[in-house]
Amino acid sequence: MKFDCKTLQSFFLLIITTFLPAYLQADQDTTKLDSLRTVLQKSDDDTSRLEIYNSHYEYWKYKNNDSSLYYAYKAREIAVDIEDPYEISRANNNLGEVYIRIGNNKQAMTYLKIAEFLARNYDHSDVLAISYNHIGNLFKNEEDFDKALEHLYNALEINKNHNYQKGIADNINNIAVTYRQMGELDKAKEYFEQSHEIYRELGNLNGLAHTYNNIGIIYYQENKPQMALNSFNQVAKLRKELGQQLEYGNILFNIAFILQHIGEHKKAKEKCTESLQIAKSNSYLSLERQCYVILIDIHKSLGDKKKAYYFHKKLEVVADSLFNINKQEELIELKSEYTVEKERYEIELLEKENELMKNDILKLNYYLVSAGTLFILSLILLATILYNNRNKTIQNKKLKDKNTVISNQTKEDSEQRDKIKKYNEQLSLKQSEIVRQKDLLENKKYMLEQSILSLEAKNENLKSSLRYASSLQKSMMPQVDILKSYFKDVFVYYKKRYEVLNCFYWFNITDKNFIFAFVDTHNNGVIGAYIIILINDLLNKIVKNQKIEDTDKILNKLQNNISLPGNKNHKLISEAFEKTSICLLKVDIESSRTYFTGKNFPLINISNGKAKLFSVDKMDNEDKFYENDLKIIYDDLFIVPNNKALSYLKNSNGIIKSTLLNKMYKEGSGNVQNEFLKLKEYIDNSVNKKPSKSDLFIFGIKI
């Protein structure tokens, strides 16, 4: 075989482009490690060594778990020696992160809880965010998704407060992974894209690789293999650029797997062979085993049974090696447990011997103290006898003096008896005063009972007034059966908490329009009933008598006339109306439009199966209400709930439960009432679980 110059040149160029980047990357890594080791040898203070150990940890974090674990332990040891809570928390976070990658979740949780405790108590918010992030990942691995999301969102909130973009991106990425594991792929993809954009702005290649990889997995789960391949190819490019051999080998394996799945066997073989070379050169036995498995499948697909058998034999060798490694790890773990148990037993023996020695010492001390006490008592007894003999004559003299004192004491006793007699007289007077006070208390008790009877009578009068107001209120509200001849269906639901309902509806039919008013006074008392009567009268006057049909003009007119200054209750009525929620709705069938105006009253329109919530409390710069309009079509459904009822129609994220309402939209006229009864039953059940402190009101019209 002959080689010309051009062929040799191409061959050497291929060799250089293949191996030179890896050689340069390895050389750079070696230079960086040598530099760190040199600085570590020259460092003579704990702070410098701590920073170097942390730098070593960051270098080995994604390369070698054993090395990263060693440097994290060394950093923690120095942090404890210098008593720095911040660095202790940081080191415990690093240990927890390594143990998560190793798969020892119990040990990881121990270190992460220590880090969280220190960070919270010493107000180290940046370290606390990292703790929450790692704990969230730990719960995610254990498939406790609620706790995982709770901790991840806590970390995200801290990082947002400090505008730490890298932390925000990491948290969003982990939240997305959690949603992906929960099967919520659309939400996961949305969060991955947010994280990807932040990593791109930061120029964080490692973060971009993570998000590309996760988005590719979602595409594969959605059965979009070509889009998954595009994402995985981006990951491979970034992993190779970063010099992350294990991750680069893994993503090549993923690409080969998808290519084999879609039938591109030759390309799959090429990628899997490259992944196998990386696994062999770096002793990644688990990756090597995976490559052999897929290479067997590829060669079977290509019809090369000889090659398939060859890789099958290779797979058996790697499997045996992995089995031996696992057995060695189990033996090491058993030996470690035996050593720990042996040390614990020896410690218990030493503690028992120590306890026996303490008892012997206590007995000896007891004997010494007893002998010393007897000796001291003998000395005291001897001194006492000598003292008594010496002072015997002095005591006789003192006895004579005491006789004189006793004589004087007898006179003092007589005087004391006189004082006791006077004290008894004073005590008798006080008892008389107590009897008088008791009579006064009896009188006050009688007066209090009379007051209670008076209050009960007033309460009964108030209840009668409320019952009257309730009856008057019911007589004011028109019958919805009138509207059923004009609309496809109409329904009303209200659930009152007290005797008087604080909500009411009103409507009027003109030549061209249907005008509706919905009012919530937020007051179940007499003043609420009075406001309803007043608004009802004003609406009749404005719409029926003055022929005003524009919703904004009606509401502005109502606001200007609700309480004229000459009224003695002007201030009370104005304050009550200020708290009142109102929605005015005009339906023009001829022009197929709906006009609405109001304040603090929601309006829901369900059209074409989509529920949309409108806020009708809009005003212009002069504090006057203006009118909104909406195009309507046949079968449109309008639902007007008060704010409390709206809270039962929304989910925890504040979004309308459209499934609940769409059934009424889809059903014909005959079945809307059935679906409304189901809606009523749903709200009643919700109120039983979470009682409402206010009245509930819902009015519905189907065009």
How many CA atoms does the CB half-sphere of 175 hold within 13 Å? 25
Provide φ and ψ at 283, rounded to 5°. Answer: 60, 40
Domain boundary among 458, 476, 494: 476
pLDDT one-digit tens code per residue, 100-155: 888 888 888 999 989 889 888 888 888 888 989 999 988 988 889 999 999 989 98
Helix runs in 477-539, H state only: 526-539
Euclidean distance between CA atoms 256 and 272, whole angstroms? 5
Rounded Cα distance between 343 and 327, Å, is: 24
- In terms of domains, do 472 and 608 share one? no
Question: Could you tell me where the beta strands, DSSP code E, fall in 54-209?
Answer: none
Number of domains comprising the chain: 3
In this structure, the answer to whether residues 502 and 593 fall within a common structural domain is yes
* C-alpha–C-alpha distance, residues 326 and 337, integer Å: 16
Beta bridge partners of 508: 515
Q: Are residues 455 and 516 in the same domain?
A: no
- Give CA–CA dist 187/177, Å, rounded: 10
Tokens standing for residue 333 = 């773990």
Residue 696, in any domain of the structure: yes
Note the maximum CA span of the chain.
149
Written in H, E and C, the secondary structure of 115-155 is HHHHHHHCCCHHHHHHHHHHHHHHHHHCCCHHHHHHHHHHH
Same domain, 460 and 482: no
466 near 478, Cβ under 8 Å?
A: no
Neighbouring-strand partners of residue 513 = 588
Pairing label, strands 610-615, 602-607: antiparallel
**Is there a domain that residue 147 lies in?**
no
Classify 607 in phi/psi space as left (phi over 0), alpha (psi -120 to 50) or beta.
beta
CA 90 and chain centroid, separation = 23
pLDDT along the chain (703 residues), means of 10: 40 34 41 49 72 85 80 88 88 89 86 89 88 89 90 90 88 89 88 88 87 88 88 88 85 88 87 87 81 87 84 77 48 41 47 60 72 84 83 79 76 78 81 81 77 68 61 70 81 76 85 88 78 88 90 87 67 82 87 85 82 68 69 81 82 67 55 70 77 81 82
Full residue range of the structural domain in which residue 523 is found: 478-702
For residues 639 and 649, state if they share a domain. yes
Closest listed residue to residue 657, CA positions, set 608, 697, 689, 611? 611
Q: Which residue has 């960051």 as its token pair?
A: 58
End-to-end CA distance of the chain: 88
Non-local CB neighbours of 248 within 8 Å, separated by 6+ positions: 236, 239, 240, 278
HSE-CB for 218 with a 13 A CA cutoff: 24
Contact status, residue 76 vs residue 68, Cβ threshold 8 Å: no
- Residue 681 C-alpha from the chain's centroid: 31
Indicate if 649 and 662 belong to the same structural domain: yes
What is the model's pLDDT at position 146?
92
On whether the CB atoms of residues 614 and 602 are closer than 8 A, the answer is yes
- 594 in the same domain as 681: yes
| pLDDT recorded at residue 664 | 58
Domain final residue pick, 476, 495, 514: 476
618 and 686 inside one domain? yes
Is 169 inside any structural domain? no
What region does 537 belong to: left with phi over 0, alpha with psi -120 to 50, or beta?
Answer: alpha
Query: How far, CA to CA in Å, does 279 sit from each of 24, 246, 682?
Result: 20, 7, 59
Please check whether residue 440 lies inside any domain of the structure: yes
Which tokens is 188 given?
Answer: 């996961």
The answer for 618, left when phi > 0, alpha when psi is -120 to 50, beta otherwise, is beta
Question: In this structure, are 441 and 507 located in the same domain?
Answer: no
Q: Which amino acid is at 553?
A: K
* Whole-number Å distance between alpha carbons of 227 and 232: 9
Task: Give residue for tokens 């639901």.
Answer: 493
| 3-class secondary structure, 581 | strand
Say whether both 456 and 493 belong to one domain.
no
User: Positive or negative, the Cα torsion across 327, 331, 337, 338?
Assistant: positive
The DSSP call for residue 283 is T
Pair (575, 442) in one structural domain: no
- Is residue 630, in this structure, part of any structural domain at all? yes
Write down which residue in 455, 476, 497 finishes a domain.
476
- Residue 391 burial by CB count (10 A; 0-12/13-18/19+): exposed, middle or buried? exposed
Q: Residue 569 falls within a domain, yes or no? A: yes
Going 437 to 439 to 442 to 444, the CA torsion angle's sign is negative
Tokens standing for 64? 């070698």
Nearest to 494, CA basis, from 302, 642, 635:
642
In a domain, 584, yes or no: yes
- The sign one gets for the Cα dihedral 597, 601, 605, 611 is positive
> pLDDT tens digits, residue range 597-626?
888 888 888 887 777 888 766 555 556 667
Residue 594 CA to residue 592 CA, distance in Å, equals 7
CA-based radius of gyration for the chain: 45
Q: What does pTM read for this prediction?
A: 0.41
- Whole-number Å distance between alpha carbons of 620 and 625: 6
Matching residue, tokens 């007077």 = 429
Q: Which residues pair with 631 in a beta bridge?
A: 593
546 half-sphere exposure, CB direction, 13 A CA radius: 14
Strands (E), 457-591: 489-495, 503-509, 513-520, 581-588
CATH code at 637?
3.60.40.10
Give, in degrees to the nearest 5, the angle at Cα 273 between 271 and 279.
105
Q: Can you read off the two tokens belonging to residue 562?
A: 């609700």
Tell whether 617 is covered by a domain.
yes
- 202: tokens are 């930061």
Contact call for residues 644 and 695 (beta carbons, < 8 A): yes
Amino acid at 135: I
Q: Is residue 468 located within the same domain as residue 482?
A: no
The Cα-based distances of 280 to 238, 252, 273, 677 in angstroms read: 21, 14, 11, 69
